[in-house]
Amino acid sequence: MAKRARDSSTAHILARLSAIELVAFDVDGVLTDGGIAYAGRTEIQRYHVHDGYGLVALRKAGLTLAWITGRGSLATRTRARELGVKELHVHVKDKRATLERLQRKLGIPRERTASMGDDEPDLGLRDASAFFAAPADARERIRALADLVTSARGGAGAVREFADLLLAARAR
């Protein structure tokens, strides 16, 4: 069960999440455990299958998914394609500006946007979202600023935990 950073009631969290149409995720440290491995010149990333299932379920429920990352690799592109994530933004310097451009393009306001991040560069996602979640192992400052801190760590089910809450909110 998720830990509440700001409001203690699950009902209040579900009410806030019920209007969400766009969900933006950082990649490294959220969808992965944050580790970076190389096999020669090839970057290897590890994704959790439960997180993938949660993302597919969100997409099938009608939510728009975006991955906004300061890095980028073939592995990131491949996994996004496998999961049907159409809004993949890599090598991003200003995550807030990128998310705000995406919101304008899609016609989805901040009030209907949620995001998830784990470190300082992700504060831009928080600033452009109505709801911000963080994995259990996010940096301390990020956890303190989050509306929700999951029980699971990044790359180990945190995205699925957040996805399940978003789906529960839609079902209400």
pLDDT of residue 54: 97
pLDDT of residue 5: 52
Cβ neighbourhood burial of 72 (10 Å; 0-12, 13-18, 19+): middle
The CA–CA distances, whole Å, from 122 to 69, 89, 145, 159 equal 9, 13, 11, 15
Cα–chain-centroid distance for residue 139?
A: 15
Number of domains in the chain: 1
pLDDT of residue 9: 80
Structural domain boundaries enclosing 104: 3-171
**CATH number of the domain where residue 19 is located:** 3.40.50.1000
Residue 41 DSSP symbol = T
- The span from the CA of 32 to the CA of 91, in Å, is 16
Report mean pLDDT in 10-residue bins for the chain, 172 residues. 59 93 97 90 91 97 97 92 96 98 98 98 97 98 97 97 96 82
- The stretches of the chain forming alpha helices (DSSP H) are 10-17, 49-60, 74-83, 95-106, 123-127, 140-145, 158-171
Does residue 139 contact residue 120 with C-beta atoms inside 8 Å?
Answer: yes
Helix (H) or strand (E) holding 25: strand 22-25
Q: Which amino acid is at 104?
A: R
pLDDT of residue 3: 59
User: What are the pLDDT digits (tens) for 110-131?
Assistant: 999 999 999 999 999 999 999 9
